[in-house]
């Protein structure tokens, strides 16, 4: 089973310099029209689980981050309450990616903005994906306050005015599934590359060991997976261990969505009728 994103027949200028054109039927709304500050505080201390936002890990229980970053306060009654599917933004570090989608109920420091959907049908993972884009994060420098670009405070009154592309809900879901698939695929490729590097390092050590223990001529030339002598004995060589475990890595380049998704049989199709999914 595969998914297909149909080409959009007409595009329009989004009004966002780094984003460019978007499908004509998409809306471009203010961020504040899609997300609102939750505004729920932990005054009575009823929420005891403290959360933290970490780059590349998202929102995690504070106990899991170890000694990294700031310590939690002894007084958590000033903390803000977070609910599942809320987007949490660190107003000081959002430019470097300190933003994430919560899977937990908990509380965290007042330095964070806790944003909830205004319309429940909106896909929270799509809204979060927009926050995760580096061009969007970097574009916030122009509205930040501070000297250091990576430590600027982003005022909520300005953040809520930022333009936000808003496709129909079915297309939001299709985009999320595609992004999730590509994320898994890229992680598999990274893991395979790391394994290949390990095997090449093992091969390097085998070359060194054989050179040391067998007294190879210092004038050696490496070719493919064989050491060839440059001295008196032509065509004499030392065989190295084959890289039998190394994966043949597929080329990651331009490809159709069908090709990218054909291996993911567990992905479910988007309901028909949406312009973006079939």
User: For residue 66, is it left (φ>0), alpha (ψ between -120 and 50) or beta?
Assistant: left
Same domain, residue pair 228 and 182 = yes
Does residue 276 lie in a domain region? no
DSSP state letters, 94-105: GGGT-EEE--S-
Please indicate, yes or no, whether residues 100 and 210 belong to a single structural domain of this protein.
no
Q: Are residues 97 and 138 in the same domain?
A: yes
| Same domain, residue pair 78 and 56 | yes
Range of the domain at 82: 27-166
235-276, pLDDT tens digit by residue?
444 444 443 433 333 333 334 344 444 444 444 444 434 444
Domain boundary among 139, 166, 193: 166
Bridge partners (DSSP) of residue 254 are none
Residues 112 and 48 in one domain: yes
Predicted confidence (pLDDT) per residue in 191-211, tens digit: 999 999 999 999 888 888 887
Both 39 and 156 in one domain: the answer is yes
- Domain membership of residue 277 (yes or no) is no
Tens digits of residue pLDDT in 102-130? 999 999 999 899 999 999 999 999 999 99
152/182 same-domain check: no
Report yes or no on 118 lying in a domain: yes
Does a structural domain hold residue 40? yes
Does one domain contain both 53 and 145? yes
Closest CA to 47 of 15, 14, 80: 80
Tokens in use for 193? 């590359």
Q: What is the DSSP letter of 251?
A: P
Query: Do 48 and 90 have their domain in common?
Result: yes
Predicted TM-score (pTM) of this structure: 0.69
Shared domain for 250 and 157, answered yes or no, is no
* Structural domain total, the chain: 2
CATH number for the domain spanning 149: value is 3.90.220.20
**What pLDDT digit, counting tens, does each position of 45-60 carry?**
899 999 988 887 889 9
Shared domain for 182 and 207, answered yes or no, is yes
């Amino acid at each position: 089973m595969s998914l297909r994103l149909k080409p959009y027949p007409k595009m329009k200028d989004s009004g966002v310099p780094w984003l460019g054109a978007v499908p004509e039927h998409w809306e471009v709304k203010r961020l504040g029209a899609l997300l609102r500050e939750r505004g729920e505080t932990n005054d009575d201390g009823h929420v005891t689980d403290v959360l933290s936002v970490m780059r590349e890990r998202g929102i995690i229980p504070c106990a899991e981050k170890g000694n990294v970053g700031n310590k939690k306060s002894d007084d958590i009654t000033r903390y803000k309450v977070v609910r599942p599917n809320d987007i949490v933004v660190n107003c000081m570090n959002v430019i470097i990616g300190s933003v994430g989608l919560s899977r937990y109920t908990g509380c965290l420091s007042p330095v964070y903005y806790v944003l909830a959907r205004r319309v429940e049908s909106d896909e929270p993972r799509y809204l979060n994906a927009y926050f995760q884009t580096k061009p969007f994060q970097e574009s916030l420098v122009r509205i930040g306050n501070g000297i250091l670009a990576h430590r600027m405070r982003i005022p909520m009154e300005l953040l809520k005015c930022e333009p936000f592309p808003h496709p129909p809900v079915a297309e939001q879901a299709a985009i999320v599934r595609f992004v999730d698939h590509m994320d898994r695929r890229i992680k598999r490729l990274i893991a395979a590359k790391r394994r290949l590097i390990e095997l090449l390092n093992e091969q390097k050590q085998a070359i060194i060991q054989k050179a040391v223990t067998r007294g190879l001529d210092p004038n050696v030339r490496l070719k493919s997976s064989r050491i060839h002598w440059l001295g008196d004995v032509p065509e004499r060589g030392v065989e190295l261990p084959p890289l039998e475990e190394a994966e043949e890595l597929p080329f990651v380049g331009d490809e159709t969505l069908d090709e990218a998704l054909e291996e993911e049989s567990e992905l479910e199709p988007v309901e028909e009728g949406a312009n973006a999914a079939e």
